[in-house]
Amino acid sequence: MRQSTRGDGAAPGCAVARGARDHRLIGESPAFVEALALISKSAQCDATVLIEGETGTGKELAARAIHYLSVRRDAPFIPVNCGAIPENLLESELYGHVRGAYTDAREASIGLVGQADGGTLLLDEIEAMTQRTQIVMLRFLQDHQYRMVGGKTSRRADVRVIASSNADLEALTNEGRFRSDLYFRLNVLAVRLPSLRERTGDAVLLAQAFSHRLSERYGKPFKALHPETIAFLESYAWPGNVRELENMIHREYLFGDGPAIHITQPDRHRAHGHACAAAAATHAAQDFKSAKATAVMQFERTYLLEILTRAGGNVSAAARLAGKERSAFCRLIRKHWPAGMGCHEP
Ligand SMILES: Nc1ncnc2c1ncn2[C@@H]1O[C@H](COP(=O)(O)OP(=O)(O)OP(=O)(O)O)[C@@H](O)[C@H]1O
Ligand SMILES: [Mg+2]
């Protein structure tokens, strides 16, 4: 929950919202260009914005773009995950507390609203707000006044609020699961981010951009997209949207064997619960001992790829994450990839 410093290398041929180059809103499809126009417009005024879209469509990125394109760009951008704040800490997290406000409050805390003063507060996953949080937030949105826990005076924060939701907030409101007064306060400007399925041509554009970015990040050659990858990217339904695509390219960039990005099926390196069932059915053709050995080999390979991806390809960091000695971790890597995948490095 800190100010963003995100920003990576530009990829050629990528449309970005004017001035939003550090926030890399990549995409050229008509559906996405329409959303980009709304993002630019939202940045030019100071009203509350509601950003809706499926998971991984770029809602947080869009909120950052709005902030950094707006006059508030030099003040903090503070994201708050609404579902993650425990109710008993809610007011203290949002509004801060004075010293001695409760037993553990040895120091005063400014709170997220205070941190965002002059800048932008992103209420992320707003659909996960409890009823009580909704009331607390509504009160704040009415006049931007709040009181620190244990404080005697009321304060005012000059904060622009952006809310984001994975769910259809209007439907939740109609069903009585979200307060309508809060919904109307939030939904002054609305930006709907299209799913990747709706964004014709963008999966390929994004994949190329991610491969460029990765080559800069790891100081390794750019990997072009294999023609079969392009066919796959264009036909896949992308339930996890851009995040799924980004992770897929990241894994393949780091661990794919050839000079090109070659993906022909979703998450071919990943373990899935249902994949285990399918594997068990396949393995039933073998005796138990060999079937188990095959399954263990598959698990190890998938696990290693996943943890190495999480560690950004850094073997020592991955070993730490796995809770293994680096030498033992390297032995395991070499068992699967004799070339060692960086294990010869000190
Ligand atoms: N148009 C885009 N161009 C480049 N990168 C993008 C774009 N959209 C999303 N991404 C990347 O995809 C990932 C997911 O984006 P983000 O976290 O903003 O999605 P989200 O909609 O907030 O997802 P969730 O609902 O799961 O929180 C991030 O790494 C982000 O940088
Ligand atoms: Mg998000």
Confidence of residue 95 (pLDDT cuts 50, 70, 90): very high
For ligand 1, atom 23, which residue shows the shortest CA distance?
56
Q: Are strands 77-81 and 120-124 parallel, antiparallel or unpaired?
A: parallel
Q: Please tell me whether residues 153 and 275 are part of one structural domain.
A: no
Q: pLDDT grade, residue 124 (50/70/90)?
A: very high
Return phi, psi of residue 190, to 5°: -125, 130
CATH number for the domain that contains residue 60: 3.40.50.300
Residue 234 domain boundaries:
200-266
| Any atom of ligand 1 within 6 Å of the Cβ of 202 | no
**Alpha-carbon span 107 to 160, nearest angstrom:** 27
Using DSSP's 3-state secondary structure scheme, residue 2 falls into: coil
125 Cβ contact list (under 8 Å, min separation 6): 81, 82, 83, 84, 164, 165, 166
Mutate to test the pocket of ligand 1, among 243, 246, 249, 310 (most ligand atoms within 8 A of CB): 243
- The residue ranking higher by pLDDT, 292 or 28, is 28
**Ligand with an atom nearest the CA of residue 80:** 2
Identify the residue whose C-alpha is closest to ligand 1 atom 30.
58
Q: Which residue has the tokens 């997290």?
A: 93
Are 122 and 90 part of one and the same domain?
Answer: yes
- Residues sharing a CB contact under 8 Å with residue 231, sequence separation 6 or more, in sequence order: none
Instruction: Report pLDDT for 329.
Output: 87
Residue range 137-156: mean pLDDT, rounded: 91
- How far apart, in Å, are the Cα atoms of 343 and each of 45, 193, 249, 299, 334? 52, 41, 22, 20, 8
Taking residues 52-80, what's their average pLDDT? 96
User: Six-digit token pair at 177?
Assistant: 């699961």
Q: What is the mean predicted confidence (pLDDT) over 230-243?
A: 95
Q: Do 41 and 49 touch, CB atoms closer than 8 A?
A: no
Unique residue bearing structure tokens 């939740």? 172
pLDDT at 6: 30
φ, ψ of residue 262 in degrees (nearest 5): -120, 100
Nearest atom, ligand 1, residue 60 CA = 18
Looking at all shown ligands, the one closest to residue 52's CA atom is: 1
More confident residue, 88 or 48: 48
Phi–psi pair at 9, nearest 5 degrees: -70, 150
Last residue of a domain, one of 227, 247, 266: 266
Helix and strand numbers (H, E) in the chain are 14, 7
Q: Is the CB of 246 under 6 A from ligand 1?
A: yes
Is 289 a residue whose pLDDT tops 90? no
Probe target for ligand 1 pocket from 26, 66, 192, 242, with the most ligand atoms within 8 Å of CB: 242
- Per-residue CA distances from 61 to 19, 124, 128, 181 (Å): 14, 11, 19, 27
Q: Is 3 within a domain? A: no
Residue 248: what pLDDT?
A: 94
pLDDT score of 338? 67
Average pLDDT, the chain: 84
- Read off the pLDDT band of 10 (50, 70, 90): very low
Q: Is the CB of 149 under 6 A from ligand 1?
A: no
CB atoms within 10 A of CB 169: 22
308 pLDDT exceeds 90?
A: no
Best probe residue, ligand 1, of 34, 57, 214 (max atoms within 8 Å of C-beta): 57
pLDDT of residue 300: 85
How far, in Å, is the centroid of ligand 2 from the Cα of 63? 9
The most confident of the ranges 176-180, 267-271, 329-333 is 176-180
Atom index in ligand 1 nearest the CA of residue 53 equals 21
The answer to whether residue 26 scores a pLDDT higher than 70 is yes
- For the chain, how many structural domains are there in total? 3
User: Do 220 and 179 reside in the same domain of the chain?
Assistant: no
The residue that leads in pLDDT, 72 or 327, is 72
* pLDDT per residue as tens digits for the range 126-135: 998 888 889 9
- Please tell me whether residues 136 and 177 are part of one structural domain: yes
Residue at token pair 């951009």: 209
Tokens of 304: 């290693």
**Does residue 118 belong to any structural domain of this protein?**
yes
Domain boundary, last residue among 223, 239, 266? 266
In a domain, 8, yes or no: no
Indicate if 143 and 72 belong to the same structural domain. Answer: yes
**One domain for residues 148 and 285:** no
Q: Is residue 16 part of a domain?
A: no
Tokens 């894994």 appear where? 251
**Residue 17 near ligand 1, beta carbon < 6 Å:** no
Atom 31 (ligand 1) nearest CA: 61
